[in-house]
């Protein structure tokens, strides 16, 4: 049975810790919140659009899509603030994509173009790019700036988010 699309309140779980009930996961395609049992976290399809909830690649976000993924979803969200003209951002892009494949389903990765969404860049006080900001339920957990190799990026994220118990 597919997960039920549900747009209810936030979970009280911390980043990376999963409750026994279900998690609210925003669909990377239509932004609908879906209830997913922790045991089925790596799979599942959206109850609204039918697309996979995890594709192992970053989601492009703008101001319209931001709330579903950064504030309402129970997954921590790692945001790459970037711009097309930025050389280090272009170098970081394939590394960030590879990191998504390694970090999902415990973390959703997203890219926000600072030129297209200056309001979001201002909200997070982005002064240099690339900047990576880890948020959970809209609250910043950690940040770092500058391009980094894949092992360093994955290690940094895993250090910020405790392993699930079990």
Read off the CATH number of the domain in which 73 is found.
3.40.30.10
Element (H, E) at 156: helix 150-160
81 in a domain, yes or no?
yes
Q: Output the pLDDT for position 88.
A: 97
114 in a domain, yes or no?
yes
1 in a domain, yes or no?
no
Q: Output the pLDDT for position 6.
A: 36
- What is residue 123's DSSP assignment? H
19 in a domain, yes or no?
no
CA distances from 98 to 2, 94, 95, 126, 133 (A): 28, 6, 5, 23, 17
25 in a domain, yes or no?
no
Cα–Cα distance measured from residue 157 to residue 143, given in angstroms and rounded to the nearest whole number: 10
Long-range contacts, stretch 43-51, CB < 8 angstroms, 24+ apart: 44/2, 44/3, 45/2, 45/3, 46/2, 46/3, 46/5, 47/2, 47/3, 47/4, 47/5, 48/5, 50/2, 51/27
Q: Which domain holds residue 129?
A: 55-160
Q: Among 27, 30, 46, 86, which one carries the catalytic annotation? A: 86
Q: Which residues of the chain have pLDDT under 70?
A: 1-20, 163-166
Q: Output the pLDDT for position 3.
A: 33
28 in a domain, yes or no?
no
Cα–Cα distance measured from residue 125 to residue 47, given in angstroms and rounded to the nearest whole number: 35
How many structural domains are present in the chain? 1
Q: What is the pTM of this model?
A: 0.86
69 in a domain, yes or no?
yes
Q: Among 27, 46, 49, 89, which one carries the catalytic annotation? A: 89
Phi and psi at 85, nearest 5°, equal -80, -10
- Tell me if residue 27 is catalytic: no
- Tell me if residue 89 is catalytic: yes
Q: Output the pLDDT for position 164.
A: 59
């Amino acid at each position: 049975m597919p997960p039920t699309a549900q747009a209810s309140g936030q979970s009280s779980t911390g980043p990376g810790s999963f409750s026994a009930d279900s998690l609210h996961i925003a669909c990377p395609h239509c932004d609908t919140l879906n209830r997913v049992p922790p045991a089925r976290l790596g799979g599942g399809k959206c109850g609204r659009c039918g697309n996979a909830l995890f594709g192992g690649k970053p989601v492009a976000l703008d101001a319209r899509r931001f709330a579903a993924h950064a504030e309402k979803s129970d997954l921590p969200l790692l945001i790459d603030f970037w711009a097309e003209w930025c050389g280090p951002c272009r170098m970081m892009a394939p590394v960030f994509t590879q990191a998504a494949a390694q970090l999902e389903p415990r973390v959703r990765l997203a890219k926000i173009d600072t030129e297209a969404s200056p309001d979001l860049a201002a909200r997070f006080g982005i002064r240099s790019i690339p900047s990576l900001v880890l948020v959970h339920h809209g609250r910043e957990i950690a940040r770092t700036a500058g391009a980094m190799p894949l092992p360093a990026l994955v290690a940094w994220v895993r250090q910020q988010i405790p392993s699930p118990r079990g």
